[in-house]
A and B are shown apart, each in its own frame.
Chain A
Amino acid sequence: MNHSISLTVNGARRDFVLDDPRVTLLDLLRERLHLTGTKKGCDRGQCGACTIHVDGKRINSCLALAISHDGADILTIEGIARGDQLHPVQAAFIAHDGFQCGFCTPGQIMSAIGMMQEAQAGSDPERIRECMSGNLCRCGAYAGIVDAVLEAQAGADESNQRRSA
């Protein structure tokens, strides 16, 4: 049975006919829309490499059926930079070497941006570590990841202050 669904992916509305209700958001993005920035590390919600934002919240796209998210607003790593202008979190990941092999990186970055929007961790390294623990990194780039988040958070705080001043 075919199912018609529509999603907004990185700002663009996409309508599809889904021939199989088993397709996850992750596999939809990777294998059908060819948005391969989002990675599959475990496919079971145990590594975080597939983290995307759905309706503004970070989730594991491997454990989300596409069909159930009909109408959702999807943001992936491909939708974060503005052309050549990197998102501050992306730039901070490079500056602080928040990755080695890079495979978990799209998920880490989507998770970090989501975490900053959740505003639960602030600039407390311990809270950042806890709030980023849903993203495994086998290379062990955690120190750089935390430093990158701290820098991005500081930048965000500063621009918020400027805005309110």
Chain B
Amino acid sequence: MNRKSSPWAWLAFFVGAAYFLLPLIATFEFSLRMERGVYSFKAYQVVFGDPRFQETFLYSVTVAIFTILLGVLLVVPTAYWIRLRLPQLRPFVEFVTLLPLVIPAIVIVFGYIRMYGSNSPLPLLASTGGTNVLLVIGYAMLSLPYMYRAVDTGLRTIDVRTLTEAAQILGAGWVTIIGRIILPNVLIAVLSGAFLTFAIVIGEFTMASLLNRPAFGPYLQLVGANRAYEPAALAVISFIITWGCMSVIQVLARFAPRSPNSR
């Protein structure tokens, strides 16, 4: 069938593309203007050479890695168990995992400060390590909607019950079943959730700022408030990191274990 594209569709496409790309191009162009009269990557050199950039970025990457680990440990067994044994709880759990999208981060972090302050029975905020732990827990919760959905979608593509029973009858226990059968078969979905989590953690401001942690988000805000060209360079860098994560998800999706029926 010869389908002819409507000119209106192309117009909508170009308007949409311009809406997304023009601010990016403008920001990029502005980030190159640090030196008067010539385009240069001077702003990027300044940003990359700033020790606070390196420290905050490294801190956020570390927090992101721990957040991903916590998210995987929390979400994979939960989503698996709900699919296997408690399917009636699925709507409730889906609702719970959506709450971080509804409740603002500032409300959550104030709740944390009240709950885990130095006067509480569990004074996590009384030490740096405890605050870091709380930040990781907070980020794991913020990324819950994305991680849970990614894993649940991955589990939907495999016959969880039969694979579990096949492994059980061959002598496998729960740890072996989750570690060697379920997790490898939803690994791509887990990685998708992991990269989304990474992108969220790298740019997050509210929690890190109110818990007073040296993260990349507060650094972006600080630089943005005091400099002209560097914030534009940082915005472009953040954008590249986020899009890089998305691209990795797309590439990894090609390596997912294939269903035996997808011949």
Q: A and B bound?
A: no
